Structure 1
Amino acid sequence: MNLPPVAPESPESVLPIALPAALDGRDGTNRARGGHLQIVADSDVEAVRLWLAEYAGSPHTLRSYRKEAVRLVLWATRTLGKPLSSLTREDFLLYEQFLAAPTGDWADPMRPRRGGTRRLFDGPLSERSRHQALGIVSGLLSYLVSAGYLAGNPLALRRRTGAAARRTRRVERYLDHALWDHVLASVEQWPRHTARDHQHYERCRWLIRLLYHTGLRVSEAAHAKAADFYQRRGNWWLHVLGKGGAEGEVPVSAALMADFARYRVFHGLPPTPSGSERAAAVMSVTGDPQRHLTPAAVYLIVKEMFRRAADMLAPTDPAGAATLRRASTHWLRHSAASHQADAGTDLRFIQKNMRHASIQTTGIYLHAEDDQRHAETVREDGDTSRPGS
């Protein structure tokens, strides 16, 4: 199988695919007929480009969504000989099998990772990655149905199994209170013999507290500005520009503002941020107030903190050290929500703090009831029997 060239990613090429007329979707069997079209699109590629344009303000989301759109359109046209707008539920069953085992040129390690002839897979997708890919594709199809372009979404019929069915389970990728305390204590033991060491220590000390106490996503923390911190009725808040350009407000404690003041004073700035300054909330590695850390840098710095904390813990708690080595930036967001729930914070407030669209998503952080049920079910002596049972 020879895949068609895929142009390099660029702002000018939202969806770098050209299809023959017979496969462009103008006559797709799932095209909506007779309704009022909400978008100006005659072909599948044009319609997908309009969907992707909705995410132009979120580069990371756009890149991820475009990757899945390219994979699906090329698979449908090259493997099945069908346009996107003719795919059925049966076709998507085949596609899910394909994602679990892409073959040939799709995952050829001899092909470059970038460029017009790049491979589109590094190998089989895990169950979780397949679920994510199909979720993105389902979002695309639902958009096209709402736009009056498609008659229906075949993936709406998909049975919730595996990772999808387990979404209601309690979140597991978080640090318990003991591990979180260990991470904080381990950072305090870092050497600060040189100016560079000291700067790195202050940056890490502030960054991990910012991520945990605000529950920010990595990209949100990387792009946060000092001016995003503001006071209302004597309380500090943080304005957040989140996924898809959604705005939110996160409460900020006096303790976190004290940590922010310490970080700013270290870099020669006034302790309290003002609404007019342009300084970054987390400055670049060189300490330039006008430059932000990149999301990749934030991720790597946090991974380093977890690794160093794990190395210190390994001799006395190998299991805890293994958990820390798996942890990443998003674990801090999960930890924030879990610890707020443990403290009895109203679920509605946690939903607003995490900026979840659904309170059902927030519900996966409620661990206290599970802990109580486990403690009362599994007693220390192992005897759960009752008289007369």
Structure 2
Amino acid sequence: MNLPAPAPDSLLPVALPAALDGRDGTNRARGGHRQIAADTDLEAVRLWLAEYAGSPHTLRSYRKEAVRLLVWATHALGKPLSSLTREDFLLYERFMAAPSADWTDPALPRRGGARRLFDKPLSTQSQRQALGILSGLLNYLVSAGYLAGNPLALRRGHTRKTSRARRVERYLDHTLWEYVLGSMETWPRTTSRECQHYERSRWAMRLLYLTALRVSEAAHAKAADFVQRRGRWWLHVTGKGDVEGEVPVSDALMAEFARYRLFHGLPPAPRKDETTPAVMSIAGDTTRHLTPTAVYLIVKEVFRRAADTLEPTDPVGAATLRRASTHWLRHSAASHQADAGTDIRFIQKNLRHASIETTGIYLHAEEDRRHAHTVGSQHGQSLSQ
């Protein structure tokens, strides 16, 4: 799987064979009024990606799926994107579920010509997400008058009844969460570096949990996003799809923020125009934001170290912590808010869910009560009856 050298365009750093650039694609729209001037598939896809230039997290995700499809189509099928049919996409679905070894070889670099585009087979959920992104791309190109139709529009819809009935599993119960917090207090703090690492990890975990932020939102948050109105603190957030919202911030979290800032020699309260990242580098660099991956790794280390100390007494809990990641903190925050009796409409706003049905998967307390009443009523009954 050898590709030509990447094109210089940073929006889509990939080059395709000239014979497969899409100028003569069988699904190209002929006639009518075009809304874009693109003549090739790469030009058209770059224009679509440019629509998301202001949302780095979304751009990275969409670009990854576009590159995967473009490379697979031209190298596995010998077709340009603008010639793909519904049958081709059925093949691509099978490929995502079981990519060949030359596409997943860990020896391949992540960038450049002979790159590695898959780490492993994609889960069913990841496949659905990828196809949803690609369908959005194709719809865009159809609306722009570049393609005649969207082959993925024929794809059978997936019912949401099962997902609505489920309850989120990836969260920590109260006891396990308290254990994680306590485990950090045992970390060594002898050297300056150890103290810096402890303070940053301590703050990052509390920020993610007490605000239920997504990892990208936490990575991009800055001091000026914390605003005070009528004596109450709020955190301004720009989330998925550039949707803006505000999250209530407790006095306890602001006290933690003040502690973290004072450790790095900053005033305890953020200024209105302050661009200092909410989570800084380990040495407290006030000019550079961490990447979402860096924040993710901080959280994974906290969970791993907690799991290591919990293993001798609670191997099941330790196994749970080893699976946990940043999004578990978001799920835990929502679940714990629901357990405490917070109005589901407020939880929906805090998580910035478009649908209250999505928020409903965090309502565990009612299930707990049902279980307690059912099991309680069976107490004392003979198993032989």
TM-score computed with the length of structure 1 as normaliser: 0.86
Q: 1:145 to 1:191 in 2, by over 3 A?
A: same
Any stretches of 5+ residues in structure 2 without a counterpart? none
Any stretches of 5+ residues in structure 1 without a counterpart? none
Shift of 1:304: 1.4
Q: Which residue of 1 aligns with 2:237?
A: 240
* Structure 1 counterpart SS, 2:255: helix
Shift of 1:328: 1.0
Task: Answer yes or no: is the 8 Å Cα contact 1:6–1:118 preserved in 2.
Answer: no
C-alpha distance after superposition, 1:159-200 (max 9, x if no partner): 3569x8854322211111111111112222323333333332
* Structure 2 counterpart SS, 1:237: strand
Task: Answer yes or no: is the 8 Å Cα contact 1:17–1:70 preserved in 2.
Answer: no
Task: Answer yes or no: is the 8 Å Cα contact 2:184–2:198 preserved in 1.
Answer: yes
Q: Which residue of 1 aligns with 2:272?
A: 275
CA distance in 2, matches of 1:383, 1:138: 57
Shift of 1:253: 0.9
**Are 2:282 and 1:249 equivalent residues in the alignment?**
no
Q: 1:381 to 1:43 in 2, by over 3 A?
A: same
Q: Which residue of 2 aligns with 1:156?
A: 153
CA distance in 2, matches of 1:152, 1:244: 25
Comparing 230-239 with 153-162, greater Cα deviation is found at 153-162
Q: Which residue of 2 aligns with 1:58?
A: 55
CA distance in 2, matches of 1:342, 1:11: 49
**Are 2:209 and 1:212 equivalent residues in the alignment?**
yes
Task: Answer yes or no: is the 8 Å Cα contact 2:233–2:249 preserved in 1.
Answer: yes
CA distance in 2, matches of 1:147, 1:369: 48
**Are 2:179 and 1:182 equivalent residues in the alignment?**
yes
Comparing 37-46 with 299-308, greater Cα deviation is found at 37-46
Shift of 1:324: 0.5
Task: Answer yes or no: is the 8 Å Cα contact 1:31–1:151 preserved in 2.
Answer: yes
CA distance in 1, matches of 2:203, 2:357: 31
Q: Which residue of 2 aligns with 1:357?
A: 354
Comparing 376-385 with 106-115, greater Cα deviation is found at 376-385
CA distance in 2, matches of 1:295, 1:267: 21
Task: Answer yes or no: is the 8 Å Cα contact 2:4–2:16 preserved in 1.
Answer: no
**Are 2:316 and 1:316 equivalent residues in the alignment?**
no
Q: 1:380 to 1:302 in 2, by over 3 A?
A: farther
Aligned partner of 1:201 among 192, 198, 201? 198
C-alpha distance after superposition, 1:62-98 (max 9, x if no partner): 2332222122123223333433233232221111112
Comparing 72-81 with 331-340, greater Cα deviation is found at 72-81
CA distance in 2, matches of 1:185, 1:128: 34
RMSD: 2.9
Q: Which amino acid aligns with 1:220?
A: E
Shift of 1:237: 0.7
CA distance in 1, matches of 2:193, 2:107: 41
Q: 1:38 to 1:364 in 2, by over 3 A?
A: farther
CA distance in 2, matches of 1:186, 1:99: 39
Shift of 1:19: 4.2
Q: 1:13 to 1:157 in 2, by over 3 A?
A: closer
Q: Which runs of 4+ in 1 moved over 6 A?
A: 382-385
**Are 2:298 and 1:301 equivalent residues in the alignment?**
yes
Q: Which residue of 2 aligns with 1:264?
A: 261
Task: Answer yes or no: is the 8 Å Cα contact 2:16–2:74 preserved in 1.
Answer: no
Q: Which amino acid aligns with 1:206?
A: W
Q: 1:30 to 1:307 in 2, by over 3 A?
A: same
1:278-289 paired onto structure 2 within 5 Å: 278-289=275-286
Task: Answer yes or no: is the 8 Å Cα contact 2:16–2:71 preserved in 1.
Answer: no
Shift of 1:121: 2.9
Task: Answer yes or no: is the 8 Å Cα contact 1:262–1:271 preserved in 2.
Answer: yes
TM-score computed with the length of structure 2 as normaliser: 0.87
Q: Which residue of 1 aligns with 2:289?
A: 292
Shift of 1:383: 8.4
Task: Answer yes or no: is the 8 Å Cα contact 2:11–2:63 preserved in 1.
Answer: no
Shift of 1:217: 1.8
Task: Answer yes or no: is the 8 Å Cα contact 1:285–1:293 preserved in 2.
Answer: no
Q: 1:151 to 1:299 in 2, by over 3 A?
A: same
Task: Answer yes or no: is the 8 Å Cα contact 1:283–1:292 preserved in 2.
Answer: yes
Task: Answer yes or no: is the 8 Å Cα contact 1:299–1:329 preserved in 2.
Answer: yes
Report % sequence identity.
74
CA distance in 2, matches of 1:263, 1:52: 37
CA distance in 1, matches of 2:9, 2:46: 12
Task: Answer yes or no: is the 8 Å Cα contact 1:229–1:237 preserved in 2.
Answer: yes
Aligned partner of 2:125 among 121, 124, 128? 128
Task: Answer yes or no: is the 8 Å Cα contact 1:240–1:250 preserved in 2.
Answer: yes
CA distance in 1, matches of 2:264, 2:119: 42
Q: Which residue of 1 aligns with 2:6?
A: 7
C-alpha distance after superposition, 1:262-312 (max 9, x if no partner): 222222222211113332222211123344333333222211111121122
